[in-house]
């Protein structure tokens, strides 16, 4: 794995939360992919006040396989441990309720106590003004956190590592292989998964059904799994055969519950490669949404890269 490329996408452009941050990242990505001779296609998605800006690299008419990478980063969660299940959307949603709403409830209680219990008992004008200003600031923070959220500065595993890996694969393909391989970087990969929906609609409009290989959290973990949508078991098995470590990779069928609240609900002909630790029957990733997402296993990234190259070249 190229050290400079890995640092570029984990540190220099590792936070891609605001539109400005995303645009700066895309400028660098355009330059890297242009070096490989890839043409780019913007795929826009809109819903109410939300907008997704996806980028597809490659010849749309010729591509048979597409590497898909979610490129936006999650919001900051003010909680010590946040669990993310890359192959189980429903479980991710259920486990994110406490980290999301408990801090908001605490702020609301502080606001309530300050406004209705503390402020009426203050007789000093300056002290009353200070408390009122503090309560107003807390109210603004509460609303902003629930509606927009704060950016998380460290996002090595989700999904900066996958971006670097995909770009490495693009640089490692021959001219003939690049003609058959596309790279899709999707935006807005939470809640409504607007980026995935817009991309799926685009392929449908172009009458294209390429094989999609999604990379999600591939930077660390003792377990690698390949999740597949119904009728894509063969693609998952073929990809697993090219694992250079020659270990057995579990291929997991994603049922309707697992695909709910998940980008794989929109990508019908797709598999997803993810790494992490087993928690019961589910693959779990810790540290996303927090400043703890700073650890990467470069050997694991090289393993994923070689597996992808083995399949694409085969």
Phi, psi values for residue 181, rounded to 5°: -120, 130
Instruction: Encode the chain (314 residues) as per-residue pLDDT tens digits.
Output: 899 999 999 999 999 999 999 999 999 999 999 999 999 999 999 988 889 999 999 999 999 999 999 999 999 999 989 999 999 999 999 999 999 888 888 888 887 888 777 777 787 777 777 877 888 888 888 888 877 899 999 999 999 999 999 999 999 999 999 999 999 999 999 888 999 999 999 999 999 999 999 999 999 999 999 999 999 999 999 999 999 998 889 999 999 999 999 999 999 899 999 999 999 999 999 999 999 999 999 999 999 999 999 999 98
Angle ∠(146,152,154) on CA atoms, nearest 5: 165
d(Cα 176, Cα 173) in Å, to the nearest integer?
Answer: 8
Specify whether the CB–CB gap between 173 and 228 falls below 8 A. no
Q: Domain spanning 3-80+152-313 has what CATH number? A: 3.40.630.10
């Amino acid at each position: 794995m190229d050290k400079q490329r890995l640092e570029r996408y984990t540190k220099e452009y590792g936070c891609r939360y605001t539109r400005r941050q995303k645009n700066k990242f895309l400028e660098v990505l355009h330059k890297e992919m242009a070096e490989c001779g890839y043409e780019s296609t913007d795929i826009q998605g809109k819903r109410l006040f939300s907008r997704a800006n996806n980028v597809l690299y490659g010849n749309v008419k010729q591509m048979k396989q597409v590497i898909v990478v979610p490129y936006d980063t999650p919001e900051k969660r003010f909680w010590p441990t946040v669990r993310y299940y890359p192959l189980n959307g429903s479980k991710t949603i259920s486990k994110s309720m406490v980290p999301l709403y408990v801090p908001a409830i605490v702020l609301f209680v502080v606001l309530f106590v300050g406004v209705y219990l503390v402020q009426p008992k203050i007789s000093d004008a300056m002290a009353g003004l200070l408390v009122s200003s503090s309560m107003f600031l807390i109210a603004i923070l509460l609303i902003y956190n629930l509606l927009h959220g704060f950016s998380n500065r460290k996002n090595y595993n989700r999904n900066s590592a996958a971006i670097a890996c995909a770009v490495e694969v693009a640089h490692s393909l021959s001219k003939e292989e690049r003609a058959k391989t596309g790279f899709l970087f999707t935006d807005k990969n939470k809640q409504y998964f607007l980026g995935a929906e817009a991309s799926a609609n685009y392929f449908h409009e172009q009458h294209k059904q390429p094989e999609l290989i999604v990379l999600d959290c591939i930077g660390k973990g003792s377990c690698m799994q390949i999740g597949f949508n119904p009728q894509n078991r063969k693609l998952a098995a073929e990809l697993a055969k090219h694992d250079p470590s020659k270990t057995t990779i579990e291929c997991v069928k994603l049922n309707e519950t697992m695909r709910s609240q998940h980008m794989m609900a929109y990508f019908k002909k797709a598999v997803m490669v993810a790494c992490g630790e087993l928690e019961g029957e589910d693959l779990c990733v810790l540290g996303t949404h927090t400043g703890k997402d700073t650890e990467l296993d470069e050997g694991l990234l090289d393993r994923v890269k070689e597996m992808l190259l083995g399949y694409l070249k085969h």
